Structure 1
Amino acid sequence: MMNLMLLLQDTIPAAVQDTSAAAATGAKEEPIRFFEMLMNGGIMVIPILLLLFFTLYVIIERAIYYNKVTKHNEALINDIRFQLSSGKIEAAQMTASKANTAEGNILESGITLIGRPLSEIEGMMEKQTNVEIGMMEKKLGWLGLVAGTAPILGFIGTIGGVIVIFHTISVEGEITIDTISKGLYQKMISSGLGLVVGVIAYSAYHYFNVVIDNFSLRLQRQAIQFINAITTGK
């Protein structure tokens, strides 16, 4: 029993000291600063970050634009159809204009030519559809450019990291963790950031193209309904 008490007397203070030392060590650990970590990726991090901000701007701007012009109003074609059947061409044109959407613009372009040959009406609506699709595709080419450029810039940063490693080795004359860690750090940050930005731009580019394709199909159906409305009155 006496030996057990002596053992506890020796063990408890030692444990307390170890805990205090661990706490002191933990208190000295500094939190990782994300921005400072990125800046350690070398000079190529700056253009990659600029591409990231530009990509986010294009994504937000295009999303807002699509949300505005692709709004679907099922009652629009029905109202126009009713007004045309009643002979109210000006009212139908005004209804299409007030919609302030791509569908409304295309229907308005067809309504303005009512009374002309059907081929002219279809041709005008097709031209207006191409204009609306062109406006939707605007700026998407920039996303495709960023998707290809950002990973390449990251690769250039990787090459810069390799150069730093070999330069440090040539100066110090030996290979240690310290001599290669800075170069590896630069390589991994620049290449990783470039890939992340490229993936964001690539995904947004193809997602928006899917949105445009689906909307184009809907416009074609809308045009067919309009043509039927002015030819058959249904």
Structure 2
Amino acid sequence: MFDLLQIDTLQKAVAMPAAAEKISLWSLLEKGGWIMYPLYLLLIAAIFVFIERLLAIRKASRIDPNFMNIIRDNIVTGNVTAARSLAKNTNNPVARMIDKGIQRIGKPIDAIEKSMENVGKLEMYNMEKNLSILSLIAGIAPMFGFLGTIIGMIQLFYGIASSGQFTLNDIAGGIYVKMITSGTGLIIGLLAYIGHNALTTQIDKTANKMESASAEFIDILQEPTR
């Protein structure tokens, strides 16, 4: 009976410190070593690029629902100057594309479409600018994390081989610490990937608006003037 009580007391004494031991997220990240600093830089770059592109794309996608109606009315009534003034003073990709089309009025439809298409491609390029950075971060952040884990594992097993002394706790503790960089890299890569796809979706929506406005403008040009 006494032996059983002794064993139970020892088990509780061992379990209590383990249960009481807690570690903050920041302290956990600090254990990742120097490789965490490049990962922090990648995270900051991803956040900066995402916010900057999100604001720019949202600004580009803001289009007055009545814009094309006003353009139609002005062109059909022969008031091309007013249509040009409206398009020129409206700051979004659709307006700049329509402005180029208005400048080409009087030329063949194919030439007008080609000019507007060129402007549309330039606007798409401007919206997609720096998106490649997010794509790059999504690819290299997990690789940086994995590199940190490999370096840490090499150091761990080199230390074990050099000292010749190790315990299961030492190995388990060393492995979980080295896995921190891999986990952080995967999370950063995932966030960058999600951000890239979210921005691409917004750009596609704006591109659809541009295509719709271009087709509508060509239809306007083929309507009889009043």
Q: Which residue does 2:178 correspond to in 1?
A: 187
Residue 93, structure 1, aligned to residue 84, structure 2: yes
Q: Which residue does 2:7 correspond to in 1?
A: none
Q: Distance in 2 between matches of 1:31 and 1:110?
A: 66
CA displacement, residues 41-91 of structure 1 (integer Å, 9 cap, x when unaligned): 022111011000000000000000011011122100000111111211111
Identity across matched positions, percent? 34
* Matched position secondary structure for 2:66: helix
Residues 76 and 223 of structure 2 are in contact (CA less than 8 Å); yes or no, is this contact kept in structure 1?
A: no
Q: Distance in 1 between matches of 2:108 and 2:122?
A: 22
* Matched position secondary structure for 1:119: helix
Q: Distance in 2 between matches of 1:32 and 1:94?
A: 63
* Matched position secondary structure for 1:201: helix
Letter of the structure 1 residue corresponding to residue 49 of structure 2: V
Q: Distance in 1 between matches of 2:152 and 2:224?
A: 71
Q: Distance in 1 between matches of 2:159 and 2:173?
A: 9
Q: Which residue does 1:66 correspond to in 2?
A: 57
Q: Which residue does 1:109 correspond to in 2?
A: 100
Q: Which residue does 1:47 correspond to in 2?
A: 38
Deviation at 1:233, TM superposition (A): 4.3
Q: Which residue does 2:68 correspond to in 1?
A: 77
Q: Distance in 2 between matches of 1:233 and 1:190?
A: 67
Letter of the structure 1 residue corresponding to residue 116 of structure 2: M
RMSD (Å), alpha carbons: 2.0
Q: Which residue does 1:57 correspond to in 2?
A: 48
Letter of the structure 2 residue corresponding to residue 116 of structure 1: K
Q: Distance in 1 between matches of 2:59 and 2:203?
A: 13
Structure 2: gaps spanning 5 or more residues = 1-15
Residues 35 and 148 of structure 2 are in contact (CA less than 8 Å); yes or no, is this contact kept in structure 1?
A: yes
Of 192-201 and 203-212, deviating more is 203-212
What TM-score does the superposition give when structure 1 sets the normalisation length?
0.83
CA displacement, residues 110-133 of structure 1 (integer Å, 9 cap, x when unaligned): 111111221211111000000011
* Matched position secondary structure for 2:95: helix
Structure 1: gaps spanning 5 or more residues = 1-24
Q: Which residue does 2:128 correspond to in 1?
A: 137
Q: Distance in 2 between matches of 1:105 and 1:126?
A: 11
Deviation at 1:172, TM superposition (A): 3.0
Match of 2:138 among 139, 147, 153: 147
Residues 137 and 189 of structure 2 are in contact (CA less than 8 Å); yes or no, is this contact kept in structure 1?
A: yes
Q: Distance in 2 between matches of 1:169 and 1:179?
A: 9
Residues 93 and 108 of structure 1 are in contact (CA less than 8 Å); yes or no, is this contact kept in structure 2?
A: yes
Residues 165 and 179 of structure 1 are in contact (CA less than 8 Å); yes or no, is this contact kept in structure 2?
A: no
Q: Which residue does 2:5 correspond to in 1?
A: none
Match of 2:165 among 166, 174, 189: 174
Q: How does 1:120-131 map to 2 (within 5 A)?
A: 120-131=111-122
Q: Which residue does 2:3 correspond to in 1?
A: none
Deviation at 1:97, TM superposition (A): 2.0
What TM-score does the superposition give when structure 2 sets the normalisation length?
0.85
Looking at CA atoms only, which structure, 1 or 2, has the larger radius of gyration?
1
Letter of the structure 2 residue corresponding to residue 213 of structure 1: D
Moved over 4 A (4+): none
Aligned length: 209
Deviation at 1:227, TM superposition (A): 0.6
